Amino acid sequence: MPWSWRYEGTDGGPVEGPTETFGSQADAESWIGQSWRQLASTGVASVVLIEDDREEYRMSLLPAAE
């Protein structure tokens, strides 16, 4: 089952991003760990990990509020 990321802007709406697919959740998470700064700099505020059509979880790429 392929894994992928869906990209969202600050308003929660979809934004463009790389169309990578991964063979495992670990591969997808490793990739986002290396790529999140670049994605955030292009306007991606959060990502959703998808397995086929199922949402696994959502994660913010924005810095934590202090």
Q: 59: which strand partners? A: 47
Q: Name the pLDDT band for 66 (thresholds 50, 70, 90).
A: low
Domain coordinates of the chain in residue numbers?
3-50
d(CA 35, CA 65): 21
Amino acid at 5: W
3-state SS assignment for residue 28: helix
* pLDDT number for residue 64: 79
Structure confidence by residue, pLDDT tens digits, 7-64:
999 999 999 999 999 999 999 999 999 999 999 999 999 999 999 999 999 999 998 7
Question: H or E stretch including 62?
Answer: none
